[in-house]
A and B are shown apart, each in its own frame.
Chain A
Amino acid sequence: MTDIAVAPGNGAAPLPVLTRKDFVSDQEVRWCPGCGDYSILANTQKVMPDFGYPRENIVFISGIGCSGRLPYYMNTYGFHTIHGRAPTLATGLKASRPELMVWVITGDGDALSIGGNHVLHSMRRNTDIKLVMFNNRIYGLTKGQASPTSELGKKTKSSPVGTIDQPLVPLSVAITAEATFVARTIDTYTEHIQDTLTAAGFHRGSTFVEVLQNCNIFNDGAWAPFREKDGRDDNVLLLKHGEPMIFGKDRDKGIRLRGFTPEVVQLGVDGVTEADLLVHDETAEDPTLAYILSRMWAPRFPVPLGVFRRVERPTHDQMLQGQIDDAIAAKGPGDLRGLLFGGETWQAG
């Protein structure tokens, strides 16, 4: 997954070797004890040295919500912005400073409710931002209202007799919005979250990572079947590029496609073999497979984790820079005097 070359920023001098500690800021972390955000933060700090960027060329931009606090704890450049708008600031920053590595930290309410429009458009533009959405299916910072990912009928402070709003599937949204990197992971699944964030960090283009995150105060146990080590093997499908989709503690179950409909099959039963199973292809141009995977959910299916989609397209900043380079190549660098005195002029006096 680390085969995409990355320009490591601006210095020609050999980079000092950084460790997790270099990315820990001096600010006291203030999430509720036991919150899944701690693990996401620690793993984010852990993978940061891998990318080879000097610390000063990394920027974390967040919106509002519990997730929005993360930039304060990263010893990089950071910007805690306003509700839902982090992708817009990231877009402007990346467009004007293409050499920076820009992360957007957001939550389910921030990204899919108030900021939904910006997620759609930053994804379709292939803006080179690594968007990480902490999904706890609840509004935590405002103390427990329903979110756009809360399950239908959920009783919360704002929906005492249950929500009547169909929830969004974040990855389905990201895929149809033309994101070029789409992945899902879980806050406490250490190896997996590290692998996923690493793959996200090396991707060039619009990156959408959903982290299933536990809010132990307002929505404890939302992801329990997939989060706890015990049930995980039977309830989770780990996506591996080029490999058949097999899951289960005994690795005896798989996913087969019938027309456009996936189904769970038992290996060895009714003559089903590995050859009948869907093989994961995260680089497929066509987003259909990724979309089908994004619709698979418990209890009918194991919940897929990993990289759903990873395709290459020119990024927004590259294309913007390309147009500027073309214009300069065609016309020469802009001449202010020529511009002002251009057009139809006349002399007076």
Chain B
Amino acid sequence: MTTDVSTNPAPDSVRDLDRVTIRFCGDSGDGMQLTGSQFTRTAAVFGNDIATLPDFPAEIRAPAGSLPGVSGFQISFSSNDIHTPGDAPDVLVAMNPAALKTNVNDLPPGGALIVNKDAFTAANLAKASYASDPLTDGSLSGWNVFEIPISTLNERSLDGLEMTSKQKDLTKNFFALGIMFWLYERSMEPTLRWVDSKFAGKPVFAEANKRALKAGYAFGETTEIFHHQQYRVKPAQLPAGTYRNITGNEATALGFVAASRLAKRDLFYGSYPITPASDILHQLSTYKSFGVRTFQAEDEIAAIGSAVGAAYGGAMGLTASSGPGIALKSEALGLAVMVELPLVVVDVQRAGPSTGMPTKNEQSDLLQVMFGRNGEAPVPIVAPATPTECFDYAIEAWRIALRHMTPVVYLSDAFLATGSEPWRIPEPADLPNIAVENWTAKETFHPYDRDPVTLARPWAVPGTPGLEHRIGGLEKADITGNVSYDPENHHRMTQLRAQKVAAVADDIPDLQVFGPSRGDLLVLGWGSTYGAIRSAVERLQQQGHSVAHAHLRHLNPFPRNTGDVLAAYRKVLIPEVNLGQLRLLIRGRYLVDAVGLNRVRGKPYRISEIEDAARLMLDPEGTAR
């Protein structure tokens, strides 16, 4: 391996690839999330299909150079339709020894490893618990290592700028980004534009970041280190339309604003900060011109309480949290069930129990939102499968809540929330009309009367003359809504509340199957496992297996045809990032002997893990291998 900086450029050659996966990793102060997101934007605007997986520590600034302080960002970009951010990186960019140590084992043998040689000091090696320097002890011999003195080269490129060397060092991530832009034949323009707007008032910083980026690019171009070999990933053939890159949390927030417009009601968002849901609050708080009222409450209970109060007044009351906050909200959610008001509760799931791993992914709140309330308190549950679906299901959650007069839980997760992909932007005119009317007719008003089809009760809001009435958490008498302790009435009301939620099944689409409509194996999933399951099933189908994929977006009630779909396959596999929560529901409801794939490591599944588990069920003896 050479680190010589040669200055005699040779003609570049470009090789075409279908798909590349890059992982940037470094200290959480090294700007890896920014580096990754700049590469993502550039690839997206170029027209690749993309999928991303940020991975960052919960600590804002863990000790510099330490193992817990490592932050990473993986992006996969392709000329084909892709569903996941890639099982393993093709290229790993490691900015320090700690990042190398925590990530290098994910890099397949022969993979490209770009390291910032300058960071491999004795002190940093010690912080990463390296006994000897991996760059010299031969332990990296299985990979294609490129040692580049990124810090030194970068500092040199900033000569003459009025900055401290510490400030200069903060731009080295852009040097690394520049190298990657050259290597994958990317334009620097989108990032240069971003620098100009980001550092509009700080010309020195703007200049430094631009110089760092260009210096990295020029380094790739002029040195021998990469043998003047570039790689190209052509644009993907995406369906025609206007696209933007979007994370799940961004799509969720936009979906709620759209829902408010479609329902012609103001959105009220009560929220308490919690990872990984806070970005929804940040984003919605900028949409004031859309009449969005955001309220940072004193706690999770106040957040949902305020949303219920807003719903009582006829607004679209919304709250969001993650697992621990949802636990705190459960009593108030039960109140919303009892008073039968529309409400949407977002749960951006993270690894639990308790505080768990706040920035890491898990799907372990399904049973909490399904059952985690006192009494019989059913609520509809929807779960988007991809970052872009977060938009559609924000509207869907509101459609159900408004039409059926019920609180609805929207289950997202850390992977969906922070991962991104290209989004084909819908025309507002093509979105569904979800508006409902307030009740105003005096003569026929009974607070707990019901719509014969949906069983929804009338929404009579304060300010409506002649409809003054009282509601509350005490059991209601059927129709009148007066307080009632009558045993038969309680039984009837408990059943009515359950039937009302069950009736949502008449109002949602059937479960779709990807693959043969009957066969050997169905892989059933929900939420963010979608991409890995779909890719695994595609591979198995290509290998000639009789396997199909179905993905539930409605988890309560299930689509009407769910039982029929399950019965059409000899075996059912349910991969979940939990210990089998959907499987428990499916087995209990349909008496199907579904098998689980259950790993909880705070990360999404690799395609190969699902493929292997499915293959084992298709061919338990391994005879086909």
Give the B-binding residues of A (Cβ under 8 A).
9-10, 25, 27, 54-57, 59, 61-62, 71-72, 74-82, 85, 87-97, 99-100, 117-118, 120-121, 320, 323-324, 326-328, 330-334, 336-337, 339-341, 343-349
Contacts of B427 in A (CB 8 A): 337
Q: Judging by beta carbons under 8 Å apart, are A346 and B47 in contact? A: yes
Smallest CB separation, B335 vs chain A (Å)? 5
Residue ID in chain B nearest A328 by CB atoms: B289
Partner of B242, one of A100, A326, A341: A341
Known A88-B305, A336-B258; judge A81-B238 contact (CB<8 A). no
Partner of A88, one of B297, B315, B470, B483: B297
Partner of A77, one of B298, B306, B462: B462
How many Å lie between the Cα of A323 and that of B291 in the bound state? 10
List which B408-433 residues lie within 8 A (CB) of chain A: 422, 424-428
Partner of B317, one of A92, A324, A330: A92
Known A80-B470, A341-B425, A346-B45; judge A96-B302 contact (CB<8 A). no
Residue ID in chain A nearest B193 by CB atoms: A344
How many Å lie between the Cα of A295 and that of B468 in the bound state? 41
Q: Judging by beta carbons under 8 Å apart, are A99 and B463 in contact? A: yes
Q: Judging by beta carbons under 8 Å apart, are A97 and B314 in contact? A: yes
How many Å lie between the Cα of A198 and that of B464 in the bound state? 24
**A-contact 0/1 string along B284-324, CB 8 Å cutoff:** 00011111010101110111111111111111010000000
Q: Judging by beta carbons under 8 Å apart, are A334 and B287 in contact? A: yes
Q: Judging by beta carbons under 8 Å apart, are B473 and A77 in contact? A: no
Q: Judging by beta carbons under 8 Å apart, are B465 and A56 in contact? A: yes
Q: Judging by beta carbons under 8 Å apart, are B332 and A93 in contact? A: no
Contacts of A336 in B (CB 8 A): 257-258, 261, 290, 428
**A-contact 0/1 string along B233-271, CB 8 Å cutoff:** 001111111111100000000100110010000101010
Contacts of B464 in A (CB 8 A): 56
Contacts of B472 in A (CB 8 A): 62, 71-72, 78-81
Q: Judging by beta carbons under 8 Å apart, are A92 and B307 in contact? A: yes
Q: Judging by beta carbons under 8 Å apart, are A339 and B241 in contact? A: no
Task: Say yes or no: is B369 at the interface (Cβ < 8 Å to chain A).
Answer: no
Q: Judging by beta carbons under 8 Å apart, are A79 and B312 in contact? A: yes
Task: Say yes or no: is B474 at the interface (Cβ < 8 Å to chain A).
Answer: yes
Q: Please name 8 further chain A to chain B contacts, defined as beta carbons within 8 Å, in addition to the given A91-B302, A347-B242, A348-B424, sorted by A numbering.
A: A79-B472, A81-B305, A92-B306, A93-B309, A97-B461, A100-B462, A336-B428, A349-B239
Residue ID in chain A nearest B471 by CB atoms: A79
How many Å lie between the Cα of A170 and that of B328 in the bound state? 26
Q: Judging by beta carbons under 8 Å apart, are A120 and B298 in contact? A: yes
Contacts of B317 in A (CB 8 A): 92, 96
What are the 6 tightest A-B residue pairs by CB atom distance, in nearest-first order? A349-B240, A88-B305, A80-B472, A92-B309, A92-B306, A334-B290
Residue ID in chain A nearest B239 by CB atoms: A349
**A-contact 0/1 string along B31-44, CB 8 Å cutoff:** 00000000001001
Contacts of B290 in A (CB 8 A): 333-334, 336, 339
How many Å lie between the Cα of A320 and that of B303 in the bound state? 16
How many Å lie between the Cα of A121 and that of B317 in the bound state? 20
How many Å lie between the Cα of A55 and that of B464 in the bound state? 9
Partner of B289, one of A118, A120, A332, A344: A332
How many Å lie between the Cα of A343 and that of B244 in the bound state? 7
How many Å lie between the Cα of A347 and that of B243 in the bound state? 6
Known A121-B298, A333-B289; judge A27-B309 contact (CB<8 A). no
Residue ID in chain B nearest A332 by CB atoms: B289
How many Å lie between the Cα of A95 and that of B245 in the bound state? 34
How many Å lie between the Cα of A61 and that of B308 in the bound state? 12
Q: Judging by beta carbons under 8 Å apart, are A88 and B471 in contact? A: no
Known A96-B310, A343-B244; judge A56-B463 contact (CB<8 A). yes
**A-contact 0/1 string along B556-597, CB 8 Å cutoff:** 000000000000000000000000000000000000000000
Contacts of A340 in B (CB 8 A): 254, 258, 425-426, 428
Task: Say yes or no: is B142 at the interface (Cβ < 8 Å to chain A).
Answer: no
Known A88-B309, A348-B240; judge A59-B293 contact (CB<8 A). no
Partner of B305, one of A55, A85, A99, A327: A85
Give the A-binding residues of B (Cβ under 8 A).
41, 44-45, 47, 190, 235-245, 254, 257-258, 261, 266, 268, 270, 287-291, 293, 295, 297-299, 301-315, 317, 331-332, 335, 339, 422, 424-428, 461-474, 482-483
How many Å lie between the Cα of A347 and that of B261 in the bound state? 26
Contacts of B424 in A (CB 8 A): 348
Q: Judging by beta carbons under 8 Å apart, are A27 and B244 in contact? A: no
How many Å lie between the Cα of A348 and that of B257 in the bound state? 25
Known A56-B464, A99-B463; judge A91-B257 contact (CB<8 A). no
Contacts of A87 in B (CB 8 A): 302, 305
Residue ID in chain A nearest B429 by CB atoms: A337
Known A57-B463, A117-B299; judge A348-B238 contact (CB<8 A). yes
Smallest CB separation, A236 vs chain B (Å)? 35
How many Å lie between the Cα of A230 and that of B339 in the bound state? 46
Partner of A93, one of B242, B243, B310, B335: B310
Contacts of A82 in B (CB 8 A): 331-332, 335, 473
Partner of B302, one of A25, A74, A80, A88: A88
Partner of B270, one of A79, A81, A92: A92
Partner of A85, one of B45, B242, B301: B301
Partner of B308, one of A75, A89, A337: A89
Q: Judging by beta carbons under 8 Å apart, are B258 and A324 in contact? A: no
How many Å lie between the Cα of A331 and that of B307 in the bound state? 26
Smallest CB separation, B264 vs chain A (Å)? 12
How many Å lie between the Cα of A94 and that of B309 in the bound state? 8
Q: Judging by beta carbons under 8 Å apart, are B289 and A331 in contact? A: yes
Smallest CB separation, B332 vs chain A (Å)? 6
Q: Judging by beta carbons under 8 Å apart, are B297 and A78 in contact? A: no
Contacts of A349 in B (CB 8 A): 237-241
Pairs A–B under 8 Å by Cβ, sample size 6? A85-B302, A92-B315, A93-B309, A346-B244, A347-B240, A347-B241
Smallest CB separation, A338 vs chain B (Å)? 10
How many Å lie between the Cα of A294 and that of B417 in the bound state? 49
Smallest CB separation, A76 vs chain B (Å)? 5
Contacts of B303 in A (CB 8 A): 88
Known A72-B470, A339-B257; judge A92-B463 contact (CB<8 A). no
Partner of B257, one of A62, A334, A347: A334
How many Å lie between the Cα of A326 and that of B155 in the bound state? 45
How many Å lie between the Cα of A87 and that of B257 in the bound state? 26
Q: Judging by beta carbons under 8 Å apart, are A345 and B307 in contact? A: no
Residue ID in chain A nearest B315 by CB atoms: A96
Residue ID in chain B nearest A78 by CB atoms: B470
Q: Judging by beta carbons under 8 Å apart, are A91 and B239 in contact? A: no
How many Å lie between the Cα of A169 and that of B488 in the bound state? 45
How many Å lie between the Cα of A332 and that of B307 in the bound state? 26
Known A344-B190, A345-B242, A345-B243; judge A93-B331 contact (CB<8 A). no
Contacts of A81 in B (CB 8 A): 305, 308, 335, 472-473
Residue ID in chain B nearest A59 by CB atoms: B462
How many Å lie between the Cα of A95 and that of B292 in the bound state? 11
Q: Judging by beta carbons under 8 Å apart, are A75 and B468 in contact? A: yes
Contacts of A85 in B (CB 8 A): 301-302, 305, 332
Residue ID in chain A nearest B331 by CB atoms: A82
Q: Judging by beta carbons under 8 Å apart, are B254 and A324 in contact? A: no
How many Å lie between the Cα of A320 and that of B296 in the bound state? 12
How many Å lie between the Cα of A241 and that of B65 in the bound state? 64
Residue ID in chain A nearest B46 by CB atoms: A346
Contacts of B237 in A (CB 8 A): 348-349
How many Å lie between the Cα of A82 and that of B45 in the bound state? 50
Q: Judging by beta carbons under 8 Å apart, are A55 and B468 in contact? A: yes
Contacts of A121 in B (CB 8 A): 297-298, 302
How many Å lie between the Cα of A337 and that of B293 in the bound state? 20
How many Å lie between the Cα of A76 and that of B317 in the bound state? 22
How many Å lie between the Cα of A176 and that of B302 in the bound state? 20
Q: Judging by beta carbons under 8 Å apart, are B467 and A56 in contact? A: yes
Contacts of B335 in A (CB 8 A): 81-82
Contacts of B307 in A (CB 8 A): 92
Known A92-B309, A341-B425; judge A78-B241 contact (CB<8 A). no
